Amino acid sequence: MYEDVVLGIANEAVLTILLVSAPILGAALLTGLLISILQATTQLQEMTLVFVPKIIMVFLIVILFGPWMLNIITAFTHELYANIPQMLTI
């Protein structure tokens, strides 16, 4: 019975992590892809050229989506804390 509770919490935690990290990872992936295409067309093969635009994009995404990410994480935490008494009675 306890295994179901633990696996349910782990499942919700993994889904929350994926949901929160998706905008950051997607923006970094898209930025890296666009810079790589630009490098391939101009034959400019500088490896450090990718890092600055990625850092800027990740910073902008955190600023834009930060409140939404915080709401998702706090909702998960509140739900987890609210369900502690029910989990102890199982």
Is the separation of the CB atoms in 53 and 35 below 8 Å?
yes
Could you give the number of structural domains in the chain?
Answer: 1
Contacts of 46 (CB under 8 A, 6+ apart): 39
Q: Which domain holds residue 30?
A: 2-88
pTM over the 0.95 mark: no
Q: What CA–CA distance (Å, rounded) separates 2 from 85? A: 14
Is the separation of the CB atoms in 61 and 24 below 8 Å?
yes
pLDDT tens per residue across span 8-59: 999 999 999 999 999 999 999 999 999 989 888 888 877 778 889 999 999 9
pLDDT tens per residue across span 4-21: 888 999 999 999 999 999
